[in-house]
Structure 1
Amino acid sequence: MPWESTYGYAQAVKVGDTIYISGQLGHDADGNIVGPAPLDEHNRILDHSNMEVQMRQSYENAKLMLAKYGATLDNVVEEVLYVTDMDAAFAAAGPVRKAAYASDKPAVASTILVTPRLALPTQLIEIKFIARI
């Protein structure tokens, strides 16, 4: 993604049997946010209803990162979700996480935090992952 060189970081790092995945966004292959949040004239989010769309895409992007190391979401042991609206995130998280991990009770330690804004103005969620292989 273009922001890797601009910001200066690695999307993923493997140390021993542990893979650290940087925060994954709900973007497509070209770096465009999927389901961008509508903004007011001050770049404040007006509506969080695309949280589920962006969350699903964030998990899809994590799958791509994990695959580079021969891993899948089955290898994830911890995740941290950074969201711009807790109510929208909670409404989406149950169904989206259960589908992503193919389990009604994913065996993944999970933390969710609210922040007023993420890196991109139309971004509603970012998820970081730790996986063991």
Structure 2
Amino acid sequence: MITGFHTIVYSEDPPATRRFFSEVLRWPSLDAGGGWLIFRTPPSELGVHPSSADPAEAWATVPYHQASLMCDDIEATIADLSARGVDVRTEVQDQGFGLVTSLRVPGAGWMLLYQPRHGLAYELEG
């Protein structure tokens, strides 16, 4: 039976990306060997969205996957991360499903940050 869900962030600068998750986001980790850190992440969920045949919508072509960070208060989270030196886009957009912005992960580009307005699947029993 499935016991977990493992996410991989690809990076052009793995040490900087690992420092971001360990020192900035303060996620605990274990060393799987040779400095390969595996981080304990906050609760997670999985959504399935439709793909698109339109090449202009590269985000919706197969295979494409996205990791997003969720928060309870986007303005407070932006302030906290900015104070820690994180490059956060301060323009927040209401996307219906939540309030959305993004932050730069060193060596790994931009990652979506949002305050959800939908129910939280990780709170479900079972």
TM-score by length of 1: 0.30
Highest Rg: 1 or 2? 2
Larger % of helix: which?
1
TM-score by length of 2: 0.32
Which structure is richer in relative contact order (CA contacts within 8 A, separation 6 or more)? 1
